[in-house]
Structure 1
Amino acid sequence: MNIRRSAALVAATVVIGAAAAPAAVADGASPSPKAVTPSGLYGKSDPTYDGVWRQSLAFVAQDTVGVKPAAKAVDWLAGQQCENGGFAAFRAEPGKACDKKTAVDSNSTAAAVQALVAVGGRDGEVAKGVDWLKKNQNGDGGWGYNPGGASDANSTSVVLGALAAAGEKPADVKSGPGNSGLDALADLALPCSEGKDGGAFAYQPDKKGGLAANADATAASVLGSLGSGFAPGKGDAPDAYTCEDGKKPADLAHNGAVYLQNQLNTHEYLKSQLAGAEDQPDFGNTADAVAAVAAAEGVKYTKDPYAWLEKNAGDWAKQSGPAAYAQLIFAAHATGNDPRDFGGTDLVSALNGTGPAPASAKSGDSASDEDKKDDGKGGFGTWWIVGVMFVAAVGAGFLLSGRKKQQL
């Protein structure tokens, strides 16, 4: 989920192009003078472009391992929501009402919806977020990063995940012309006749309407086609590991996974698509691809790429922060591996350590004294590039380094 990975931010973040979520900003970076990192927020880097995104991924990842975030962390995320239900990437003054200048976007909103569903007890905020997403659906059935922007695979996929998490049936959420987000994804899928690129998804059509395979967009679209959010479960092995003609969501997910399998079989990782970095691995997109393939095809083709991540991705996650740790936890969850033993690293403890101590946790993770006193319940009543974001020209997001989701 670079998964599942977006933000209309110039050179600082990504949703997945294109990417599908804001890219994880290195946690060692210092906050800008204008954006002080709040005490309830995960990560220490400047939150301007990815605050809501990284907080949301952290919550969803914690939910997969039974960790309940601190009340003040949940309150911070809920407090970022505008009255109209949308979320911006980060609002430094959440007490100030949103106005026309507040840059709400589909990726931050969809990520926050998934996170608020995961923590529970926030039905009102979830309903408002879903309502905002429905109101900002494009005629083709998809979503762009910015309201009214051209639909892209990453944004559409993270919204589909949010709708499913909130109890909606994605196929039934349709635009005025009668198109769903699944229809929009189908329009971005390359046919099997495209050879080695067959089954892949494009981020968006090019100026001539052509489609170019994009691994980051494909990982996001596999999950979107499955109606899955950031943390998919393990799928069943298919009868055939080849691209097969078909336009149904299950067909699209299978074909996208086949494309990703072929990419991973070549190097065990996905290469960075950033200019000048052709020979560098993209850790976030690799994690997203592993999770997507496992969700669609089972674990047969994920064992070697996951082992590669265990051996090589630890330092990347430590430098990149909470969204990166979350992406690796999603990969572990989808493949049935233990995120507390990731090549010798406890990803859960590492993620928890980037924010307020959890209200409750399993396997020895400590809860904060404040949240122990109220049993973690008091705060729940008030509570998209990378990767790198490719949105300068199109206002799209990319996956944070990683649904994020990076190119997560």
Structure 2
Amino acid sequence: MINFLERDNRLLFFYQPEDKEYNWISERLKADGNVHVKRTFFFTEEDVIKEDIDEEFVDDSLSDIEPEGIYLWFGDLENDYYKVKRGILTSAFDIYLHKDIELKLGYFVADANASIFNAISKISKLDFYLGGPHQTAVPIEDFEKLTRYFPTSYERKRYVEARIATVLRNYLDNVKDAEQVYERYMNKKLSKEGSNLSKIFKDTELYKYQTIYRKLESMLMEETQYNERQWQQEILQIILLIYPKYIYVFKEVKIKAGIAGDVRERFLDLLLVDCNGNVDIIEIKRPFEKAIMTNDHYRNNFIPLRELSGAVMQVEKYVYYLNRWSEAGEEYLNNTYKNELPNGFDIKITNPGGIIIMGRENNLTSEQKRDFEVVKRKYKNVVDIITYDNLLERLKFTIDQIKKGEYKINCVNRLSNCI
């Protein structure tokens, strides 16, 4: 039995053997002058307390065992902390244990005799305070969580079996799926849980999306008050707020457009650059009432109006131009905008995509909406076509999810994927 006792401003390590005939720690100290206990505690002969110890410190349930045990000097009281003698647990730093903590063996030794403070010394060399008011002290509750991160002997066994099974499965049939057993166990084990960022930023995010929604709704009610350039500018602000993937936008970008050997200069209205340096094209059109689908059937189908077909064709051409421009285009864009980009940030032309924001759906019949969906899916690999009503719908969905407390990463992805 191992226990930790306080006496005269000292912290003692008390060992009481279960074998009545043999106190192996005492014998090892006499023979070698030092001893390792549970691969964690290192004591020398100098640590042995030879003076009489009050009987009150001896465990009553084992009081009949002879010899009674051995007392070893573990630490001294300094300013409400017991400072563990350097070298007993580690020589890398000093360890301070607050006097009010009821010490347990599990605070020092994990399962399979793994030294907790030896593991800590591999990560930090700073003095360690456990409990109490010290400014760098680790609260006892968090320290207990930390101790549970150490693998148990059962976990080590399952891990070894999983690694062996991974290799043998390539050569033998009917091999036990030890990897699945190990993963199932690890999924039940304690895992680090950080702060709930969604909860922290809930009010801010709710205000943000509600403001964006109201602004877009107001703009759609007063669209005739905006000229084309100002409309683009306002919508672009909204896009960059709800689609944080893009961190730069360049206007009136000169590019080289070449078809069949005929190279000309063209100007892109807007070029988006994402956080990895990849470029995409965006076209922002005013939301004219009739800009998407015809009102009349053509062979029992509604077809795209000229404004939509023209916008798609325009974006597809620019995507084609950029892909052909390739490395020469990257070099040109990086040189042109180097003063606006951080050091080490490179613009890349890697299969760019196109985004078109235009038109309304609120004036379409269900049949027109169905055929419009067919049109969107037809161009989805190159161009995403987003209507203003679809944008409002996605914003409303996100606002509702935040209010319900269910605003998670997948909600943000749903919004971003539609833009």
Q: Same fold (TM over 0.5)?
A: no
Structure ranking higher on relative contact order (CA contacts 8 Å, 6+ apart): 1
Using the size of structure 2 for normalisation, the TM-score is: 0.19
Using the size of structure 1 for normalisation, the TM-score is: 0.20
Q: Which structure: greater strand fraction?
A: 2
